[in-house]
Amino acid sequence: MSDCRKNIRREPVTTCPPAPTESQPLLSVKGLRKYFPVKGGLLKRQIAAIQAVDDVSFEVRRGEVLGIVGESGCGKSTTARLLMRLIEPDAGQVIFDGKEVGMRDGMTVTDLRRHAQMVFQDSYSSLNPRLPVEDTIAFGPVVHGTARSKAKERARYLLNEVGLDPSRFGRRYPHELSGGQRQRINIARALALQPQMVFLDEAVSALDKSVEAQVLNLLLDLREEFNLTYVFISHDLNVVQYISDRVLVMYLGKVVEVGPIGDVYKEPAHPYTHALLSSRPSMDPEDRKKESPLSGDPPTPINPPSGCRFRTRCAFAEDVCARAVPALTPIRADGSWLAACHMIIPGSGHSRAAAINEATTGGTNG
């Protein structure tokens, strides 16, 4: 973690340069897809499919924090569960540390689960109420063949790392802890297997604001100490801005924009990102919004709109948006910032498409 990260602890405006790029990303996801069947009728035949995650591709660099944002039901959590193989994907490649997960010459799911771990949103239901928290933390190492005493030792070490005195908290049961303490236990549990990567699925969303800040700072400290890479899933745009180096915006199971957090938050390229960001309440009373930037609920993922999935709520929608699915297109030449919108694809047929720069700024102003 660089020094400028420390400076922004109180002032969540990221001025950090993106984390140093390595030749090989730690996690590379290509064309990930999951359709949940909807069964009905007398014979329980499949009558439709919920397109929860559709053709999602992205990369996570070693040591960075990638934030994933989006409205409820956009496939954020499903993506995390697919990456942990808690749900089997229908299609797509997941390459972890250069090895493809689930392939014969790649990495087994068991190996993946040693190198990548997950912290769940609900700190209550993600801890076994009948197990002292120390045993919960030690469970993973024991399953992976560590001697019980060694695993206990590691559990106590991690309890200390997450700010809980092992001699006082180790033998306690989850119901004897507060929400913040329980989430610390969850984090310790995720770190017990010494993973390289941690998926944080709404890990701080259920906490009080003050506790949330403590846990976020803890996460940043732990990242530095254990060289962790985070995929941070949240619906809270401010929290994502605070913790992430890069952000990925999802809408109805698709990636609409991905790029460095500072750039995306400053000049969102996709109209959805723009609408999402302007839905945040402003601290300045003069800057009050008169109308909601985004109206209505997202359409159902069972029969998503043709072409661009956002077109039904987009102010700039034109004929081309219904006809063709916009591909993720680089906004910067180096490919660090991508968005999936016809307005930024040169020659897509959208009236704003020809001049790329104008479309970008137009999105910001409008």
Partner 1 sequence: MSADSVAAAQAGEIPIGQLRSRGYWRSVWVRLRRDKVSVACAAVLILIALSAIFAPLLSPHDPYQGNVVKRLAPIGTAGYLLGTDELGRDMLSRLLYGGRVSLFIGLFPVFCALIVGGTAGIAAGFIGGRTNMAIMRLMDVFYAFPSILLAIAISGALGGGFSNVILALALILVPPITRVAESVTTQVRSYDFVEAARASGAGTWTIIRVHVLSNVLGPIFIYTTSLISFSIIVASGLSFLGLGVTPPTADWGLMLSTLRQAIWINPYAAALPGLMIFVTSLSFNLLSDGLRSAMDVRL
Binding test (CB under 8 A) with partner 1, winner from 175, 209, 288, 290: 175
Contact 352, 358 (CB under 8 A): yes
Q: Determine if 172 is a binding residue for partner 1 (CB under 8 A).
A: yes
The smaller minimum CB distance to partner 1, of residues 39 and 332, is found at 39
Tell me the site size for partner 1, rule CB under 8 A: 46
The smaller minimum CB distance to partner 1, of residues 189 and 350, is found at 189
Residue type, 309: R
The smaller minimum CB distance to partner 1, of residues 226 and 280, is found at 226
Long-range CB contacts (< 8 A, 24+ apart) of 207-215?
Answer: 207/123, 207/179, 207/180, 207/183, 208/179, 208/180, 211/178, 211/179, 211/180, 211/183, 212/239, 214/180, 215/180, 215/183, 215/184, 215/187
Q: Determine if 189 is a binding residue for partner 1 (CB under 8 A).
A: yes
- For residue 252, count other CB atoms closer than 10 A to its CB: 24
The smaller minimum CB distance to partner 1, of residues 163 and 293, is found at 163
DSSP code of residue 312: G
Strands (E), 254-365: 254-260, 329-330, 338-339
Q: What mask of x and - would describe binding to partner 1 in positions 115 to 154, judged by CB under 8 A?
A: --xx-xxx--xxxxxxxx---x--xx--xx----------
The smaller minimum CB distance to partner 1, of residues 14 and 229, is found at 229
Candidates 60-68, 70-78, 176-184, 289-297: pick the segment binding partner 1 (CB under 8 A): 176-184
Q: Distance between terminal CA atoms of the chain?
A: 36
The smaller minimum CB distance to partner 1, of residues 228 and 345, is found at 228
Q: What mask of x and - would describe binding to partner 1 in positions 53 to 82, judged by CB under 8 A?
A: ----------------------------x-
Q: Pick the closest to residue 271 from 234, 230, 315 (CA basis).
A: 315
Contact 254, 56 (CB under 8 A): yes
Q: Determine if 180 is a binding residue for partner 1 (CB under 8 A).
A: yes
Candidates 22-30, 164-172, 282-290, 328-336: pick the segment binding partner 1 (CB under 8 A): 164-172
The smaller minimum CB distance to partner 1, of residues 145 and 285, is found at 145
We find the least distance from the C-beta atom of residue 41 to partner 1, in angstroms, to be 16
- Cα separation of 178 and 38, whole Å? 38
Residue in the structure block whose two tokens are 């998926």: 199
Contact 160, 168 (CB under 8 A): no
Q: Determine if 92 is a binding residue for partner 1 (CB under 8 A).
A: no
Binding test (CB under 8 A) with partner 1, winner from 39, 148, 150, 171: 171
What is the side-by-side order of every strand in the sheet holding 45-60?
45-60, 27-40, 91-96, 99-100
For the chain, helix, strand, coil in percent to 5 are 35, 20, 45
Q: Which residues bind partner 1 (CB under 8 A)?
A: 81, 84, 86, 110, 113-114, 117-118, 120-122, 125-132, 136, 139-140, 143-144, 163-165, 168, 171-178, 180-181, 184, 186, 189, 192-193, 210-211, 214
